[in-house]
Amino acid sequence: MRLVPSRRSIARLLTVGVILGQLMPSAFAQCARPADKAALDIAGLKSELMVIALECDVRDRYNDFVGRFKSELMNEERGLNAYFARAYGRSGRAQHDDYITNLANVQSESGIKRGTFFCKENVGLFDQVLALPPGSDLASFAASKQLVQPIDVAVCDTTAPERRTRTASASHH
């Protein structure tokens, strides 16, 4: 006896698939290239510093950071645009905007949880980043800080896949 799925069963499966796709969009996104991960790390650092600047009233330090790392920050923005466009296609801009908003939100929440300790514990991040020697790798610095991110991004495997070769007998029909 063969069971044939009903239209209702198929509709339920499609609905579940749509819901899962909405709940877990990053699971279906492309993996991040190392340059994408670097851009995400720098975005995390920039956002964290902005939250610190606003919460701790050290806006001048944030302005110093932006002035000093202007070219790296511009490259980071181009990298984020490219990543979200590649990973999400037409909705890339909206996903990018959502990412930036969610990034600021999760980092602000972290500050709120720490209360009065937040500024004492975090203002020193400006000293660290502004003390980096010229030519330092801002992405490596950002990655070393393990800052809160609203998304988990898997870095693509950069090893070359094995190439399959056809044998002479396989090429004949």
Residue 56, CA distances (Å) to 43, 49, 167 in order: 20, 10, 67
For the stretch 47-68, pLDDT in tens is 999 999 999 999 999 999 999 9
Segments making up each domain of the chain, as ranges: 33-149
Residue 31 is predicted with a pLDDT of 80
Residue 113 is predicted with a pLDDT of 87
| 3-state secondary structure at position 1 | coil
Yes or no: say if 143 and 129 are a contact pair by the CB < 8 Å rule.
Answer: no
For the stretch 135-162, pLDDT in tens is 889 999 999 998 989 988 888 876 655 4
> Cβ-count burial of 26 within 10 angstroms (0-12 exposed, 13-18 middle, 19+ buried)?
middle
Tell me the percentage of the chain whose pLDDT exceeds 90.
60
